[in-house]
Amino acid sequence: MGIEKNGVNIECVQGDISRQDDVDVVVNAANSELAPGGGVAGVIHRAAGSELYEECKDLAPIDVGECVLTNAYNLPNTYVIHCLGPRYGIDKPEKELLSSCYANALELADGKGVESIAFPSISTGAFGYPFRDAAEVALGTVFKKVDNLKNLEKIRFVLYSQNDFLVFKDILGR
């Protein structure tokens, strides 16, 4: 499922963020220490190998809403962008902080000159952000940012469950 805006393809798929072999950048739903953890951070670090955490150690800690870029090692991508999303009910204002994650990641990737990026749904697992609200923030931010991108041509959301995919599909179809 996808749409085009300003020459940029915005799409959503059901799948695993660590298996997106046709995109330049994958985004990690990181913790502040950029360490391997559960959920997305777990699969990304496992698939990339231990060199990823070695590079991450020098860049940590990061703030909520902040993003940093590393190599992707054994992942089938060129870079990983690690974003720290807000913990729902704790880090406020959560909507602005979640939006910053997407906006900052898009700027960072676009500045590197890459053409494609894949996002998971940041903050909606361990960090407890209600899924539909987070999806509205994610897609709303991407829609605003696409008008200012120079290099990115494809922005993909990778949703783990079918329900989550259907929520993105519904919002994207409006």
Footprint of ligand AR6 (CB under 6 A): 16-18, 29, 31, 37-41, 43, 85, 120-127, 158, 160, 164
Q: Which CB atom, from 40 or from 117, has the smaller least distance to ligand AR6? A: 40
Q: Which CB atom, from 130 or from 147, has the smaller least distance to ligand AR6? A: 130
Whether 117 contacts 109, CB under 8 Å: yes
Q: Where are the beta strands (DSSP E) in the chain?
A: 2-5, 8-14, 25-29, 67-71, 79-83, 116-119, 154-159
Q: How far apart are CA 57 and CA 66, in angstroms?
A: 16
| Closest distance to ligand AR6 from the beta carbon of 137 (Å) | 13
Q: Which CB atom, from 32 or from 148, has the smaller least distance to ligand AR6? A: 32
Q: Which CB atom, from 38 or from 49, has the smaller least distance to ligand AR6? A: 38
| Closest distance to ligand AR6 from the beta carbon of 9 (Å) | 19
Q: How far apart are CA 16 and CA 3, in angstroms?
A: 21
